[in-house]
Structure 1
Amino acid sequence: MRLTNHLAKIVLGALVLALSSCSDDRFADNADACMVLPGDRAATIEVPLRLHADAPSVIGKPLVNDIVSRADGDAGTPADPEQAAEEAIKNIWVFQFDSIGNQLIAPRYYEVASTEIRKLNIRLAEGEDSYVYVLANTCDPDWAKGKDLSTVEKFVGYEYPFTEDNVEMGKDEYLLMEGNVKETIRKETDLLPIDIHLTRMMAKISFKYVTADAAKGLKVTRVIINNMPEKMRMEETPIEENYPKGDFAVRSVSIDKNLASDEIYTFYMPANRRGETTNTDAALKNNEAPDKALYVQLFVSSETNGSNFLYTIYLGANDTNDFNVRRNHNYNIKLNINSESRDDRVLAAPANCYVLAFNDSIMFDPYNRTEKGGGWVYSDYVKKGDPDKEFTKVEVLWQEVNVIGDNSKGDRVYLDRYNRVHVRSRSTAGNAVIAGYNAKGDIVWSWHVWVNNEMPAKLSKAVPYN
């Protein structure tokens, strides 16, 4: 995937599109004059149309201070091609429904030949209180063919597929936009243009991390975006409801290049609204994150002691309790890594073996293992929700003397209420094995713990051998 190092700017002004009156690509082939097409329930007339690309809502401060964001009020012309691409309207599909929501004319596709401020014409049918919907930037004159969009309900409820290829805006790619208006279409020579305001069908995430001098030993090796929905609804659902509903499909997307400190990465995704919690402490936001809420994980390696960690950031309107990622919103996310100290947002990276220093502690998610090396799949053995594969407790299976110490109170090795495993070492070098048990008392999985204050995992401690 190609990485973007810019904040794209969103235009505030209207884009007024010039379309030829009879140059629309017809939904069905027809050599007759462009008055009636198969699927039309009425003759069409020439109507002027004007489209506006509405500004998104902006969450968080801009990530760079020397570039003015269009979303923050600059109405100038973007010099960056990617910014221009994000604002562009290259083609549109036009749909018209009658007053009770049934299709009035066949869908029509128009290529946008100009952005000059002048009257443009499309073809609509006369009708009282008809609904006109516009879908922009499918870049496909055959897109509506074979789809049942015969009512307003079916149109707005259509879920557009979203793949990994859509995460970043590549060359000659444009953002999908949608908008509508309820309008009475009349045949008048001095008819004013019909104004339709378009909003982007996905959210935009701009992300970076900044490492302070006290944390220079931490290096980000990989970034994964988790719980991205695989579909996006044509139109926004009511904002007070969670969306998507039910057991919806999600995907994880890896950034295939190491991000340097202060470098910006921008990606796009469908809405994923999971609601709010009552938490007020930013350090504890992750603890009660709703299922399938969107989050970004940074795989971080410590050059200080060789340990590997996962920094987890849940997105939303704030850093305490909001887990709503909405369409036509720009989210500016900045992670400040000020030291190597850890809180509840930092987990040990998934592993079978952990190396701890003296009097050290780790916390890890026992269900998070994505590798499939050797042909085995971790979820075949460990799986949340399966009574035989789900952990109900973790204990010390065996240890060398005083490596972990007395765990009779369950305060040195334990499973917390968020299903995370905690391990605390003592000041004795040696080995231990901790085991996770299901409700029947069977061991589901185990982990090796090596306590050693010589930092053997640190690369500079490696000893070459033949």
Structure 2
Amino acid sequence: MEEIGVKLQKAVLIMMSIVSMLGMSSCEDRLDSPCPSTGEGKAVEVSLCVGIADEVDAASLAGGTSGTKAGEGVGSGSGLNVRLQSSAKTKAAVEDPLATAKPDKLYGLEIWQYDAGGNFKTGKGVSYTSAVEIGSSFTVTLEALDNCQLVIIARGYNGSAYTVGSLSGKSLSAVQSTTATASMIEGIKNEGDIKAMPYILHLPKVNVTSAGEIQSPDGTDVRILLRRLATRLTLSWKNESEKTGYTLEQVLLQSIPVDYRLLKPVNDDTYPSLLDQYTTIQVASVSDEGSYTCWIPSVVRGESAYASSAYYRTKANAPKGSAYATFISRHKSDGGNETDSRKKLNYRVYLGGSTSKEFDLYDNTNYIYNVEMSHNTLPVDDRRITIIDPIPASQNNNNIVPTANCFMVKPGGAFCFNPYNYTIKGVAGGNTILRDWCGLSGTTFSTPIKSVKVLWQTLEDGDLGDPALGVVNKYAPQVPAEDDHTNIVELKNGDSLTDARIYCRVAPNTTGGSGLIAAYDGENGTGNILWSWHVWVTDYSPSATTDATILLPDNQRILKLQNGVTSYKPIMDRCLGAYDGYVSVPPDILDMSRANGFHYQRARKDPFPGSYTAEKIANQYKFTINAVLPPKHCLNRYKADGITWVMPTGLNFSSVHHAYQHPEAFGQPQNQEWSSNPSSDANGRPTWSDSKTVHDPCPAGWRVPTQNELQVLISRNSSDWNTILSNSEKNGGVLLKYDNTTNGTYLRFSGYPADLTTLNNVGYTTFLAITASNAKMSSVFIASRSGGIVEGGGGLKFAGKDNRDAQNIRCIQE
């Protein structure tokens, strides 16, 4: 008999990480060899017993301790040694009894049957209200059926609640999206708590015969043994600071999934989705030597042929979404040199796998890593280690650019600008509103800009990857004098109308994203925000002057609007702030979501994130906000440390001045408006126009389009609208012609934020803002399929939307 997990082979583990089973001598139920099935559809009584599998020692999968010293075969002296240790060869098994702990009984046991398509077989299965003895025999009513599926789960119980809700009545696809309560798993701190751990087994292809037997189609006999849902991870480290010259101050576990999903997706070799929620675990009280143990969800990313040894387990070689540990050390700077104290070393250690090429952390498996840092010199050749020797953002930065509310910069790029200016059609004029708020009289300010900080930033891929702007020298918001952002943003001559400069330098080696930098009227980021600017980190570099379509190269693509003899200036190939733009339908949901872009309340310059999800969500998705985790299915923002997420906040109906002092806060509505500024106000109701205004969120040389300009998208596509719509649900949006050819531009159905805790029409509608600006409601461009909470009938049109709603923008050349 094959006992999967006791004699676990590598290939079996990869194919059946969630559903594989381990041997247990007290439980003798088997899947018998195949024989002709009769009486299909008949209810039959099946005798079962269920056991719990032994845990897998990850290092044993490779036949022992796995790992290589950095530099082996590629040059010596790196001094970073990472080893995946076997519990049999360490004290970890003694120090961590939870790694092998098992519950005394099966709590919340359920057994359910599904047909081959994953449809729930009503009345076929059982849910026990009392705990079941492990290995005891019992009978279950199933349907005699060939090629069916079974899910067997002990849902876990902490004494007052089950860790997983009942699966009764759920289709298999619903089970695959069901999650365990993470706090209950992560609250398992001792052996007595282990009964809260869920254990699960999925049998994807079995026959239930009329004789009450369960048969394996391939003839393999298997015992029914449940696998622990969670992965157990132990990380121990030693930094020899006398050798390295750096003191370890931070240990992080990064790209860790938030959700414990019960089953892996069908036909997906890697999981969870890159659009799922991920988090960073910060280890408390770090010293040069220590250890940390925790539960985490499984993360399966497959292999990378480029990671031929531990030395090559780098960001460039690791599959996207792979989990890793980060160790950050700061220069000891015994002499008190401030410059030296900013120097850091960032060690990145990718987790998972039993060989260097593998990046998988499986359920029911224990991983024990030992990390040693012992280099005598700077490890300049080891790509796993980033040497951080920050320079001020102003240093070697003479790249002065026209001032706008959005700056486009490539990863690793730098620029500077005069914050008191504003450029329209290539002419540098004054930002009259900011100058007024700063109390300009003649050439003197009564309230000048005194400091500048990073307010928020996105990561490269939703909750994955590195921060788009970078990590500041020191993030200490509670101690403003120590809160040092000068490696990313720096102010010079803030009290000078003509010579004021804000300098910005963004991190290299990212794929892009966005961030917001803010100017303050107090020192060190204190006082009120005076103005803020969107920094769009992207390799997209469209010409703001070429009056023609450019399709290649991709990063310079612009699309000239044409309908017959009528033509307008080119638009960008993507929405403002989007990761990517497309002229064909993107191949998968991840790429589709990267086309979302930011959303903008009517005539407001400040960007707000929208959805970021692989799931089909309700046409009116309402979510709650709490301090523990950011909301699901949303693009999240992070603070200057690149770790702490920005908790979404709302702003009461207020003046433009007050709103711009809180650019991260969504304007809550009153009478359909976000702004209380009446048209009679000195600055007037904020507007967008074909003559660019200071509220326009587009980069220099670009502006919000007019209704006439976007009318081209309606005129060119109305006659084909039914054909365009036919695949729009699957495509997550529509491909619309923009000129007299058949060329198309992809518009993602990104919906819009209606208020702080509501996303409307995600997956149903594209809304693009235009310059039209009226009281309460203004016209927007709409491309919609039927079924949305608003514009439910679908269509390609212009319609009025509340000024408080936030829409996407396709910038057009001025």
C-alpha distance after superposition, 1:267-322 (max 9, x if no partner): 32232426424243533432413433211112223435544332211113267443
Aligned residues: 349
Structure 1 pair 205–376 and aligned structure 2 pair: CA distance change class (3 A): same
- What amino acid is the match of 1:295? Y
Change (3 A) 1:207 1:214: same
Is residue 125 of structure 1 aligned with residue 142 of structure 2?
Answer: yes
1:176 corresponds, among 185, 198, 217, to: 198
Cα distance change of structure 1 residues 314 and 238 upon mapping to structure 2, 3 Å threshold: farther
**TM-score if structure 2 supplies the norm length?**
0.35
CA shift for structure 1 position 53: 1.0
- 1:363-402 equivalences in 2 (<5 Å): 378-380=455-457
Counterpart CA distance in 2 for 1:313 and 1:165 is 28
Question: Does residue 135 of structure 1 match 2:163?
Answer: no
Deviation at 1:337, TM superposition (A): 0.8
CA contact (8 A) 2:164 2:181 kept: no
What CA deviation, in whole Å up to 9, does each residue of 1:167-194 have, x standing for no partner?
46324144322114435365679xxx99
CA distance in 1, matches of 2:87, 2:509: 35
Cα deviation 1:142-187 (Å, max 9, x = unaligned): 954587514x4443x2341564664463241443221144353656
Q: C-alpha displacement at 1:141, in angstroms?
A: 5.7
Partner of 2:304: 276
Q: 1:99 to 1:48 in 2, by over 3 A?
A: same
**Structure 1 residue identity aligned to 2:254:** N
Q: Is 1:329–2:369 an aligned residue pair? A: no
* CA distance in 1 between partners of 2:97 and 2:459 (Å): 46
1:109 aligns with 2:119: no
SS of residue paired to 1:252: strand
Unaligned runs of 5+ in 1: 1-10, 19-40, 70-77, 355-364, 368-373, 399-412, 421-435, 442-466
Question: Which residue of 292, 311, 334 corresponds with 2:321?
Answer: 292
Give, in whole Å, the separation in 2 of the partners of 1:100 and 1:383.
Answer: 37
Residues 180-226 of structure 1 show CA distances to partners (whole Å, capped at 9, x for unaligned) of 4435365679xxx9941222333332211133475375433222211
CA distance in 1, matches of 2:506, 2:268: 38
What is the identity, as a one-letter code, of the residue corresponding to 2:456?
A: S
2:50–2:226 Cα contact (<8 Å) kept:
no
- Whether contact under 8 Å (1:202, 1:270) holds in the other structure is yes
TM value normalised by structure 1: 0.57
Say which of 293, 313, 336 aligns to 2:349: 313
Identity %: 13
Q: Structure 2 counterpart of 1:215, which letter?
A: K
1:230 aligned residue (247, 254, 258): 258
Name the CA shift for 1:12/1:134 in 2 (closer, same or farther; >3 Å): closer
Q: Distance in 2 between matches of 1:166 and 1:259?
A: 27
**Superposition RMSD in Å:** 5.2
Distance 1:198 1:284, change over 3 A: same
SS of corresponding position for 1:123? strand
Q: Flag the 1:178–1:62 CA change in 2: closer, same or farther, 3 A.
A: same
What is the aligned partner in structure 1 of residue 593 from structure 2?
none
Aligned to 1:30: none
Please identify which structure carries the higher strand content: 1
1:202 aligns with 2:230: yes
Q: 1:48 to 1:242 in 2, by over 3 A?
A: closer
Deviation at 1:415, TM superposition (A): 7.5
Mapped to 1, the partners of 2:355 and 2:333 lie a distance apart of 28
C-alpha distance in 1, partners of 2:102/2:250?
27
Distance 2:180 2:131 in 1: 24
CA spacing shift, 1:273–1:297, aligned 2, 3 Å: same
Q: What's 1:14 paired with?
A: 24
How far off is 1:134 after superposition?
0.8
Q: Which has the larger radius of gyration?
A: 2
Amino acid aligned to 2:106: K
CA contact (8 A) 2:299 2:323 kept: no
1:249/1:100 CA distance change after superposition, 3 Å:
closer
Cα displacement string for residues 296-354 of structure 1 (whole angstroms, at most 9, x for unaligned residues): 11222343554433221111326744333333333322212112533322235697869
SS in 2 for 1:215: helix
Quick check: 158-167 or 279-288, which moved more?
A: 158-167
| Superposed counterparts of 1:42-441, under 5 Å | 45=45, 47-56=47-56, 58-59=58-59, 60-62=84-86, 65=89, 67=91, 82-83=98-99, 85-86=101-102, 90-91=106-107, 92-97=109-114, 101-102=118-119, 103-104=121-122, 105=124, 107-115=126-134, 119-125=136-142, 127-129=144-146, 131-139=149-157, 140=161, 143-145=164-166, 148-150=169-171, 152-155=172-175, 157-161=176-180, 163=182, 166-167=185-186, 169-171=188-190, 172-173=193-194, 174-181=196-203, 182-184=206-208, 195-212=223-240, 215=243, 217-237=245-265, 241-258=269-286, 261=289, 263-273=291-301, 275-280=303-308, 282-288=310-316, 289-303=318-332, 306=341, 307-317=343-353, 320-340=356-376, 341-342=378-379, 343-348=382-387, 378-380=455-457
Q: CA 1:225–1:239 in structure 2 vs 1: closer, same or farther (change >3 Å)? A: farther
Give 2:170's aligned amino acid.
L
SS of structure 2 residue aligned to 1:85: coil
Separation in structure 2 between the aligned mates of residue 123 and residue 46 of structure 1, nearest angstrom: 5
Letter in 1 for 2:51: L
Letter in 1 for 2:201: G
User: Relative contact order, CA 8 A, sep 6+: which one is greater?
Assistant: 1
In the aligned structure 2, how far is the partner of 1:383 from the partner of 1:66?
37
